[in-house]
């Protein structure tokens, strides 16, 4: 399949999520111009944010200002653990909708597998929170629901405790962090795997293998890493507040990495995390 910025891949509920998106974050600030450029000049139709990032209101204004129809944009938001629990989760989701000036989210994720509720097990709180997300899904407030930073044991417990399997699991993913067992598990269970930090917060950009391939293909190191990720079928959301970087990160469709080069990048895995590591969360 030829990939483009408009390529969408199917979730288990039949919805189609754009394979490339734009991440937003509290790290590095917020850029109104970068969001508008991504939507109006680069054709980006997938925006990923979270309550924790603190930019919901600005992002909502940028989406309106872009004049791209809301129905054309895939908007993901995330529920912070401080809002876990049945009633709190529902309220937090509706409050996020209100701050962003939207009626629904295309995708709503539990941000982290660990709860902040003392005296209760993480498993119990996750299941209770997930039931709230299932109801929001049934009510159309969230068109798809999922999790972020969940590992196989967390997903297995959710499967045992609840009736709906997450549509998406969003996890750190780059050439140094390739959780192959988790990717395989998600594919087997019909959970779309989405990767964040595709550039490992810049650590990949000076890697000798990446630099060699950038020269071979006449591309930048960032483009090699993002292309590798989407070419593996991973929904990928690089983030930047700089317009030229946003443009660069979206320009990954005019070439294809050869199989041997894909394999060389696969061999760079060393297990390092540049973001949160959920390994010890029960």
What is the CATH number for 258? Answer: 3.20.20.100
The pLDDT tens digits for 212-222 are: 999 999 999 99
State the catalytic residue, choosing from 30, 53, 84, 196. Answer: 53
Q: Give CA–CA dist 280/282, Å, rounded.
A: 6
Beta strand segments in the chain, E:
8-10, 16-18, 22-23, 46-48, 74-79, 107-110, 145-148, 168-172, 192-196, 235-236
Q: Residue 25 — very low, low, confident or very high, per pLDDT cuts 50/70/90?
A: confident
Per the CB < 8 A criterion, the answer to whether 172 and 197 are in contact is yes
The verdict on whether 104 is a catalytic residue reads no
pLDDT score of 243: 96
47 in a domain, yes or no? yes
18 in a domain, yes or no? yes
b/e 168-190 (16+ beta carbons within 10 angstroms → b): bbbbbbbbbbbbeebbebbeeee
Q: Give CA–CA dist 199/141, Å, rounded.
A: 32
Half-sphere exposure of 20 (CA within 13 A, CB side): 27
282 in a domain, yes or no? no
Q: Residue 116 — very low, low, confident or very high, per pLDDT cuts 50/70/90?
A: confident
Looking up tokens 């959301």 gives 237
Q: Which two tokens stand for residue 170?
A: 């969003």
Nearest CA among 198, 238, 220 for reference residue 5: 238
Question: What residue numbers bound the domain in which 161 lies?
Answer: 8-266
If one counts the domains in the chain, the total is 1
255 in a domain, yes or no? yes
277 in a domain, yes or no? no
pLDDT score of 1: 64
Mean pLDDT of the chain: 96
272 in a domain, yes or no? no
117 in a domain, yes or no? yes
User: Rounded to two decimals, what is the model's pTM?
Assistant: 0.97
Is 52 exposed, middle or buried (CB count within 10 Å of its CB: 0-12, 13-18, 19+)? middle
Which are the contacts of 140, defined by CB distance < 8 A and separation ≥ 6? 104
Least confident span in 21-30, 67-76, 217-226, 254-263: 21-30
Q: What is the dihedral of CA 41, 72, 149, 173, to 10 degrees?
A: -40
Q: Cα–Cα–Cα angle for 204, 112, 5, nearest 5°?
A: 50
Q: Residue 26 — very low, low, confident or very high, per pLDDT cuts 50/70/90?
A: low
């Amino acid at each position: 399949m030829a990939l483009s910025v408009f390529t969408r891949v199917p979730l288990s509920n039949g919805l189609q999520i754009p394979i490339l998106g734009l991440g937003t974050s509290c790290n590095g600030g917020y850029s109104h111009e970068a969001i508008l450029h991504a939507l109006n000049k680069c054709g980006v139709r997938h925006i990923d944010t979270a309550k924790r990032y603190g930019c919901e209101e600005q992002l909502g204004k940028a989406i309106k200002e872009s004049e791209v129809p809301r129905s054309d944009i895939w908007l993901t938001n995330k529920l912070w653990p401080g809002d876990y629990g049945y009633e709190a989760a529902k309220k937090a989701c509706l409050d996020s909708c209100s701050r962003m000036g939207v009626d629904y989210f295309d995708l709503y994720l539990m941000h982290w597998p660990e709860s902040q509720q003392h005296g209760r097990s993480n498993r119990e709180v996750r299941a209770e929170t997930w039931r709230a997300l299932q109801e929001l899904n049934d009510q159309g407030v969230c068109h798809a629901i999922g999790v972020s930073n969940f590992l196989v044991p967390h997903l297995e417990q959710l499967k045992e405790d609840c009736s709906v399997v997450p549509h998406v699991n969003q996890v750190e993913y780059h050439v140094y962090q390739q959780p192959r067992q988790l990717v395989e598990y998600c594919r087997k269970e019909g959970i779309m795997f989405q990767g964040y930090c595709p550039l490992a917060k810049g650590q990949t950009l000076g890697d000798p293998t990446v630099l060699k391939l950038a020269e071979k293909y006449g591309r930048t190191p960032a483009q090699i890493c993002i292309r590798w990720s989407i070419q593996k079928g991973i929904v990928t959301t690089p983030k930047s507040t700089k317009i030229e970087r946003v443009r660069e990160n979206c320009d990954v469709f005019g070439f294809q990495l050869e199989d041997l080069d894909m394999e060389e990048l696969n061999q760079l895995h060393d297990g390092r995390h540049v973001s949160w590591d959920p390994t010890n969360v029960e």
